[in-house]
Structure 1
Amino acid sequence: MTQTFATPDVTTDVYSRVQHFYAHQMQALDSLRFEDYAATFTEDGTFQHSPQAEPARTRAGIVAELVEFHKRFDGDPVQRRHWFTHIALTPQPDGSLASTVYALVVTVRPGGKPEIAPSCVVHDVLEIDEGRVLTRSRLVTHDQMF
C-alpha cells in the first residue's frame, strides 16, 4: 500500500528562509553568543530545552537560562554543534508556521571522538515579519525520554 502525504502550502522561498534562519541561529548558540541567539526569538518568546525545566520567557530570560545551563561546561574544553534536519513546516491560521525539526547535538573534546547526545525533536512556532524569521516558542523533546 502506498501512503500519500499532503504537502503543506509552504513556498520554496519560505522554506529556504527558515533553513537559513536555523543555520544562523544554531551557529550563534554553538558559538556561545547567547544574546544573538535570544534575538532570534520574539520579545515575548519562550524556550524550553530541558525536559525538567520550566520554559525561559523573554529574550533576557533565554539569555539567563543559557548562561546558567552552560556553566556545566566551565573548565571543560568542549565544542557543541546542533544539527537541524528534516524541517517540516505547516502554516497556521494566524499566519505563523509550526515547525518540527529533528536535532542532534554533537559534542567534541580535544583529541576525542564526536559524541551524539541528545537526539531531539524541536517543536517551534515561527513568525515571519517583513521577511525576518523569529521564534515565538520552542519546545525541545528528548528521544531518550519517550
Structure 2
Amino acid sequence: MIGTESLTDLYVEVQHFYARQMHLLDGGAFEEYAATFTEDGEFTHTPQQPPARTRAGIVAELNRFHQRFADDPVVRRHWFNMLKLDPLEGGDIAATYYALVVTTRPGRNVTIAPSCVVHDVLVRENGALLTRSRKVDHDQVP
C-alpha cells in the first residue's frame, strides 16, 4: 500500500508528466511526444483503428492523423482531468483520466470534442516516467 505522502508526490509527478506530454503533442512535436512512450509502447487513440506500436509507429500514426489539418488553421488542445492512479505490482502505475479536446479556428466558436476516458500504464525507465500503453475510449462510440 502506498502512503498518502507518496501518493501525493506520485500524483504531482504524473500530472507534470502529462502536462509536458500534451504540450509536445499539441505543439506538433511528434517525435518528442513518442519519446515519452517506451520503445515498444502502444497507442490507441481513434475508434476502430488498430493501435500504433513502437515509437516510430506512433510518430507515423500522428503524422497520418494530423494530415487532415494540413490546410486548416486549427489549434487543438488536450485537457486531462479527474486523474486516478493505481499503483500496480512491480511498480507500474495504472492511470485513468478524462480527456477533452478543445478545437479553435479563427473567427469560429470553440468546440469541445471528443470527450474520452483514457487508460494508461506508466512505467519507470532509468528513473523517468514513460507510457507503456494508452487506450483512448471515446464517449460517443458505443
Q: TM-score, normalised by structure 2?
A: 0.94
- What is the rounded CA distance, in whole Å, between the counterparts of 1:93 and 1:131 in structure 2? 17
Displacement after TM superposition at 1:132 (Å) = 1.0
Q: Provide, for residues 5-61 of structure 1, a one-character-per-residue CA deviation record: whole Å limited to 9, x for no partner.
A: xxx735211111100000000010000100010000000000000011100000000
Within 5 Å, give how 1:84-99 maps onto structure 2: 84-99=80-95
The reply to whether residue 56 of structure 1 matches residue 14 of structure 2 is no
Q: Secondary structure at the match of 1:83?
A: strand
Q: How many residues align?
A: 139
Q: Secondary structure at the match of 2:89?
A: coil
Give structure 2 stretches of 5+ with no counterpart.
Answer: none
Identity, in percent, stands at 63
Displacement after TM superposition at 1:94 (Å) = 2.4
Identify the residue that residue 37 of structure 1 maps to in structure 2.
33
Within 5 Å, give how 1:1-146 maps onto structure 2: 9=2, 11-146=7-142
Q: Provide, for residues 85-127 of structure 1, a one-character-per-residue CA deviation record: whole Å limited to 9, x for no partner.
A: 0110001112100000100000000122210010001100001
Moved over 2 A (4+): 128-131
Give structure 1 stretches of 5+ with no counterpart.
Answer: 1-7
RMSD: 1.1
- What is the rounded CA distance, in whole Å, between the counterparts of 1:131 and 1:100 in structure 2? 21
Q: Secondary structure at the match of 1:12?
A: helix
- What is the rounded CA distance, in whole Å, between the counterparts of 1:62 and 1:55 in structure 2? 9
Q: TM-score, normalised by structure 1?
A: 0.92
